Structure 1
Amino acid sequence: MPMPTEERLSQLVAGLVERRGFDLEGVEISTAGKHAEAQARVKVIVDSDDGSDLDTIAELSKELSERLDEADDFGETEYLLEVTTPGIDRPLTVDRHWHRARGRKVRISLRPGAPTPDSGGSDTFDARVGELTDGTVALVLGGKRNPHRVSVALADIAEAVVQVDFSPPGARELELAGGVAPGRPQPGEEEEVLETEALPESVTASDSPTEGIVE
């Protein structure tokens, strides 16, 4: 029996994810093993304005596992379900990503021909995310030594990817960004989290909806 597509799984889980107060950021399917012994790994990526905790993720994981079992799209193929929040290196592609990334450091790549925010600057640079208003995002450049705020149209940005902060930003730098979005960790805490291998928050569940393992 062929496995369901990622589009099909997105349709199956989207309603439950939304009712739990999350946005569905993606669904990924991969396989391990060969032929009859193959096992599917289903990764459901969710996020919300208020962040998330492992208890809530675990409850959602159980509900999603039950939903997938009821749909029976995997047939006899065993699957491992993982419900997780976006990783640190996630790209910012829609407005809600920018709002939730406020205070984070990002690597910006501008579209060809777009004006650089600093005279003579590069079209790829690191900045701290500020407020997003009417299609324009405030970015803080200069780091701790020379923090200053500029404005860049989202239409001029080809790619923006969140970066790991291995040390806290300067107070003025964070002030210019408007602080950290509610429910999000303070910049500079990633190093400690990475050492405990707890990033991002995730829960895995076996093909039985009653079993759940917090990673």
Structure 2
Amino acid sequence: MADPQADTVRDEVAGPLAALGLDLEAVELSRSGTRRFLRIAVDADGGVPLDLITDATRVVSAALDDGTAMGEQPYTLEVTSRGLDRPLTEPRHWRRNVGRLVAVTLHDGPAVTGRVVGSDDTGVEITVKGQQRRIAYADVARALVTP
């Protein structure tokens, strides 16, 4: 179910983040009593260094101050980079993880673990037990980078 407030936050911060060369990966809003917490996850080719997280926090804060998504009530903002525990859901995620070991759960068939050797807009090439295998993104139920 879509969260209209998260969608508005996404609309307000995506442009400023893109200007920094960052992809907006996730917007998570939570509430604990009267406190609100907003977590923005970003990613970029080559990773996201700490100084870029600082810049991203500044532009997100400014965009939200100028916008209407968070209203007048106080909230805590956290801008973070996409972690290894986040699923690979977009072609860019696969591209950014070439060379890494991934665990892939398929919609129909057994789970496989292999190393990403390449990807394109429709699927990924992984090496499983020495054999290269093509998997279409449409066949992937869940995929995670393994430690």
TM-score range, shorter chain: 0.7 to 0.9
Q: Which structure dedicates a bigger proportion of its chain to strand? A: 2
The alignment yields a C-alpha RMSD, in angstroms, of: 1.8
Tell me the matched-pair count: 144
Consecutive unaligned residues of structure 2, counting only runs of 5 or more, are none
Matching residue within 131, 134, 155 for 2:118: 131
Q: What is the percent sequence identity of the aligned residues? A: 37
Which of these two proteins has the greater Rg computed from alpha carbons? Answer: 1
Matching residue within 148, 153, 163 for 2:131: 148
RCO greater where, 1 or 2, for CA within 8 Å and sep 6 or more? 1
Report Cα offsets for 1:126-166 as digits up to 9, x if no partner.
11111014623211223xxxx332222333222212222xx
2:141 alignment counterpart: 158
TM-score by structure 2 length? 0.87
- Does residue 40 of the first structure (1) align with residue 36 of the second (2)? yes
Distance between the aligned counterparts of 1:88 and 1:152, measured in 2?
20
Equivalent position SS for 2:75: strand
Distance between the aligned counterparts of 1:63 and 1:135, measured in 2?
33
Equivalent position SS for 1:15: helix
Equivalent position SS for 1:6: helix
Further displaced range: 101-110 or 64-73: 64-73
Query: What pairs with 1:48-197 in structure 2 (closer than 5 Å)?
Result: 48-112=44-108, 123-133=110-120, 135-142=122-129, 147-164=130-147
2:14 alignment counterpart: 14
Q: State the AA in 1 paired with 2:11.
A: Q
Distance between the aligned counterparts of 1:131 and 1:125, measured in 2?
16
Report Cα offsets for 1:99-149 as digits up to 9, x if no partner.
00111221111122x6xxxxxxxx11211111014623211223xxxx332
Distance between the aligned counterparts of 1:133 and 1:26, measured in 2?
22
CA shift, 1:74, in A, is 3.2
